[in-house]
Amino acid sequence: MRLAGDTNEILPGQFVNIRIEGLFLRRPISVCDAQEGLLTIIYKVVGVGTESMTHLLAGQKVDMLTVLGTGYNIANAGENPLLVGGGVGVPPMYMLARQLREAGKAVRVILGFNTKDEVFYEEEFRTLGCDVTVTTVDGSHGVKGFVTNALDGQQSYYYTCGPLPMIKALLQAAGTHGEVSMEERMGCGFGACMGCTIQTTQGPKRVCKEGPVFDAAILQF
């Protein structure tokens, strides 16, 4: 979709909050890519809100809050960063991968899914010049198992987004030298309602404001 504001202000890992006609709460959706005035989002239909979004028409105006939350810090990447995305956690990895490749980094990407039918954006990451590994739980495509089965421990730093069980397993296997995008139910999307607060070693943090990207070292599970 074409954005009225400046896409250069959006960082990988940030999200937008979309108003859905007839619903009280907006729907937070991670940014897949943002450049040259165009915003790309990818979402999974899981309820009334996202189902309603499938009926949006080309050229239709959308009420949307942008540049929300904190993004990934590219300065921490080192020379060979690892990006790990699981399921609906894959989209925010794309913009990050693109910017890291533009910065000359050797980017390795691990994408995790349950089965072959769920795999998406594999070729888009390859087109960026990333070293891509896909894992599926049932072994129907790529490496059989979870994203942790594809780790080699050679990364300079890691960035991840995905379901909580995946994040917990990744932190145990890869350690805390990385950044994690967390997901919680959000009310306002900009820090006022406190509804998405999580506990960290630095005290309570709001996922929509201090996050969704956090230093892995401060997370508590």
pLDDT tens digits, 70-97: 999 999 999 999 999 999 999 999 999 9
The rounded mean pLDDT for the chain is: 94
DSSP H or E stretch at residue 90: none
pLDDT classification of 221: cutoffs 50, 70, 90: confident
- Confidence category of residue 1, pLDDT binned at 50, 70, 90: confident
Third-level CATH fold of 74-179: Rossmann fold (3.40.50)
Q: Which residue has the higher pLDDT, 121 or 2?
A: 121
Answer for the pair 158, 83: CB distance below 8 angstroms, yes or no. Answer: yes
Nearest to 87 by CA among 136, 129, 54: 136
- Residues 32 and 92 sit within 8 Å (Cβ to Cβ): yes
| Correct CATH for 7-68 of 1.10.8.50, 2.40.30.10, 1.10.645.10, 3.30.300.20 | 2.40.30.10
What are the pLDDT digits (tens) for 106-130?
A: 999 999 999 999 999 999 999 999 9
pTM, two decimal places: 0.94
What's the rounded mean pLDDT across residues 31-36? 94
Q: Write out the residue limits of the CATH 2.40.30.10 domain(s) in the chain.
A: 7-68
Range(s) within the chain of domains with CATH label 3.40.50.80:
74-179
Burial (CB < 10 A; 0-12, 13-18, 19+), residue 33, is buried
Beta bridge mates, 6: none
The pLDDT, as a whole number, for residue 175 is 87
